[in-house]
Chains A and B, each alone.
Chain A
Amino acid sequence: MDTILQVSSALFLLIGSFLCLSGGVGILRFPDFYTRMHAVGVTETLATTMILIGLILHNPSFMVDLKLLIILLMTLFISPTASHALANAAIHEDMAKQTNSKLNSEATSSKS
Chain B
Amino acid sequence: MIDIVLLAFLVGVAVAIVYMKDLLAVVMLTGIYSLLSASFFVAMDSVDVAFTEAAVGAGISTLLMLVAITMTGRSEHPERHKPLLALAVVIVTGSLLIYGTLDMPYFGSAEAPIHQHVAPRYINDSMQEIGVPNIVTSVLASYRAFDTFGEVVVIFTAGIGVLALLSVVRRTEDSSKIESFNTSMHEQHLILRVVIKMLIPFILLFAFYVQFHGDFGPGGGFQAGVIFASAIFLYAMLFGMNTTRRVINQSVIKFLAAFGVLLYGSVGVVSLLNGKNFFDYSALSSDPVAGQHLGILLIELGVGLTVASVMVIIFFNFVGRRDISQMKEKKDI
Contact = CB atoms under 8 A, between A and B. Distances in A.
Interface of A: 74, 77-78, 81, 84-85, 88
A84 B194 CA distance: 13
Interface residues of B, number: 9
B198 A77 contact: yes
Contacts of A77: 195, 198-199
B90 interface: no
A35 B157 CA distance: 46
Interface string B184-198: 000011011001101
A81 B191 CA distance: 7
A88 B238 CA distance: 14
**Is the contact region of chain B dominated by helix, strand, or loop, or is it mixed?**
helix
A81 B194 CA distance: 10
A74 B199 CA distance: 9
Interface in B187-228: 188-189, 191-192, 195-196, 198-199, 202
Contacts of A88: 188-189
Interface string B163-194: 00000000000000000000000001101100
B38 to A, nearest CB: 16
Contacts of B196: 81
B191 A84 contact: yes
A112 B198 CA distance: 55
A78 B202 CA distance: 12
Contacts of B195: 77-78, 81
A13 B191 CA distance: 31
Nearest to A85: B192
A85 B199 contact: no
Interface in B55-107: none
B208 to A, nearest CB: 16
A74 B188 CA distance: 23
Contacts of A81: 191-192, 195-196
The 7 closest A-B pairs by CB, nearest first: A81-B195, A84-B191, A85-B192, A77-B195, A81-B192, A81-B191, A77-B199
A17 to B, nearest CB: 15
Contacts of A84: 191-192
Contacts of A74: 199, 202
A102 B196 CA distance: 36
A70 B125 CA distance: 36
6 contacts: A74-B199, A74-B202, A78-B195, A81-B191, A81-B196, A88-B188
Nearest to A84: B191
A74 B196 CA distance: 11
Contacts of B202: 74
B189 A85 contact: yes
Nearest to B198: A77
A64 B305 CA distance: 30
Nearest to B196: A81
B63 to A, nearest CB: 14
A2 to B, nearest CB: 28
B5 to A, nearest CB: 15
Identify which of A77, A81, A84, A88 gathers the most chain B CB atoms within 10 Å of its CB: A81
Contacts of B198: 77
A41 B224 CA distance: 29
A88 B191 CA distance: 10
Contacts of B191: 81, 84
A85 B190 CA distance: 10
A78 B188 CA distance: 18
A78 B189 contact: no
A32 B192 CA distance: 24
B192 A78 contact: no
A88 B192 CA distance: 10
A108 B4 CA distance: 56
Contacts of B189: 85, 88
A38 B188 CA distance: 22
